């Protein structure tokens, strides 16, 4: 049986068809709603047709088209990681500062946040945010105000990964802040610095340099966690690889390609963060390289 849809061939491989068009592919259909287009739609693959049978070998141009289709998912993955890292940093620094220097009642609230997002698997967070919180908010907004909210799978994945990363990054920076001599903060306050200035000008710049090795490791962890975002329909590397492997029955070469792409992104990201670490390092503070 072939899968209907504009620009699609058959999933089972029993009939010929062009490669899937991410701009025409509905992510999923909700009752009473028109399917939405994918977030960050990329260029459509060409109309070269795949083999009519999974037993029929693919020629060079068909392999090249499939490889390029998967490689284009690297842009989605890179955007997902950069967005989640930035969101986690924006959350982690304030949470760490409050846990060390903030009021006790607020520190307890942030401690609950940290325990929750560190204790829930990423897959559960994805489902909870996209099918739980977002669906409930969407229904409430439509019933009360007649508004239609639109949260793409890419945005939901970025939000889930960013919230989870913020919990982990907060503990990285909390440990770095606690490793600094507390007398520096006390001296800054005694010299007339406001608490905000003492944190942003004295404490956090030093804490960032101390936390940089562990913070860089968060990138590679987050990159691997992003592979589960395909379950929401985000067209990143794993989603494209899984579809192409099922579409052609050529699992081994395409999953090897996916592994190489993740390895390349990990290597490039870690090298870039190590370069930044060397540029911001102060001799005598932190680890020598």
Say whether 145 sits in a helix, a strand or coil: helix
pLDDT band at 92 (very low <50, low <70, confident <90, very high): very high
In a domain, 22, yes or no: no
In a domain, 261, yes or no: no
In a domain, 30, yes or no: no
Cβ(127)–Cβ(205) under 8 Å? no
pLDDT tens for 168-184 read 999 999 988 888 877 77
Give the count of beta carbons closer than 10 Å to the beta carbon of residue 140: 12
DSSP state of 23: T
DSSP string, 102-131: S-HHHHHHHHHHHHHHHHS-HHHHHHIIII
Instruction: Dig out the tokens for 272 from the structure.
Output: 């870039």
In a domain, 159, yes or no: yes
Give the count of beta carbons closer than 10 Å to the beta carbon of residue 215: 21
| Total structural domains within the chain | 1
pLDDT at 189: 78
In a domain, 90, yes or no: yes
Instruction: Dig out the tokens for 73 from the structure.
Output: 């998912």
Enumerate the β-bridge partners of residue 49: 18
CA proximity to 239, closest of 24, 83, 69? 69
- Residues comprising the chain, all counted: 289
pLDDT tens for 9-52 read 333 343 344 444 443 343 433 333 333 333 333 334 443 456 65
pLDDT tens for 179-207 read 887 777 777 777 777 777 888 788 888 88
Instruction: Dig out the tokens for 196 from the structure.
Output: 């905000």
pLDDT at 71: 93
In a domain, 211, yes or no: yes
pLDDT at 30: 38
Cβ(89)–Cβ(161) under 8 Å? no
Cβ(141)–Cβ(147) under 8 Å? yes
CA R_g for the chain: 23
Which domain range does residue 172 map to? 81-234
In a domain, 201, yes or no: yes
List the CATH number of the domain containing 214: 1.10.3720.10
In a domain, 128, yes or no: yes
| Cα–Cα dist 248/255, whole Å | 12
Task: Output phi, psi for 106, to 5 deg.
Answer: -75, -35
To which residue do tokens 């009360």 refer?
144
Mean model confidence pLDDT for the chain = 78
Cβ(48)–Cβ(61) under 8 Å? yes
Quick one: average pLDDT of 81-107? 92
């Amino acid at each position: 049986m072939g899968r209907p849809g504009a620009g699609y061939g058959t999933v089972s491989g029993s009939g010929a068809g062009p490669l899937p068009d991410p701009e025409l592919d509905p992510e999923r259909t909700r009752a009473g709603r028109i399917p939405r287009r994918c977030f960050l739609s990329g260029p459509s693959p060409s109309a070269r047709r795949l083999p009519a049978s999974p037993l029929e070998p693919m020629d060079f141009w068909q392999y090249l088209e499939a490889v390029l289709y998967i490689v284009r998912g690297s842009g989605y993955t890179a955007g997902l990681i950069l967005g989640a890292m930035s969101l986690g940093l924006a959350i982690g620094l304030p949470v760490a500062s409050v846990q060390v220097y903030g009021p006790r009642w607020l520190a307890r609230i942030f401690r609950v946040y940290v325990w929750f997002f560190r204790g829930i698997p990423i897959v559960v967070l994805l489902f909870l945010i996209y099918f739980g919180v977002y669906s409930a908010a969407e229904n409430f907004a439509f019933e009360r105000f007649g508004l239609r909210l639109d949260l793409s799978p890419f945005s939901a994945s970025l939000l889930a990964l960013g919230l989870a990363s913020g919990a982990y990054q907060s503990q990285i920076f909390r440990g770095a802040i606690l490793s600094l001599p507390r007398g520096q903060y006390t001296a800054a306050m005694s010299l007339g610095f406001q608490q905000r200035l003492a944190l942003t000008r004295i404490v956090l710049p030093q804490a960032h340099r101390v936390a940089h090795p562990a913070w860089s490791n968060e990138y590679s962890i987050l990159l691997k966690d992003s592979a589960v975002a395909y379950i929401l329909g985000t067209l990143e590397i794993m989603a494209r690889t899984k579809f192409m492997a099922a579409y052609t029955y050529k699992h081994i070469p395409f999953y090897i390609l996916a592994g190489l792409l993740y390895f390349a992104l990990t290597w490039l990201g870690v090298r870039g963060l190590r370069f930044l670490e060397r540029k911001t390092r102060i001799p005598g503070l932190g680890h020598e390289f």
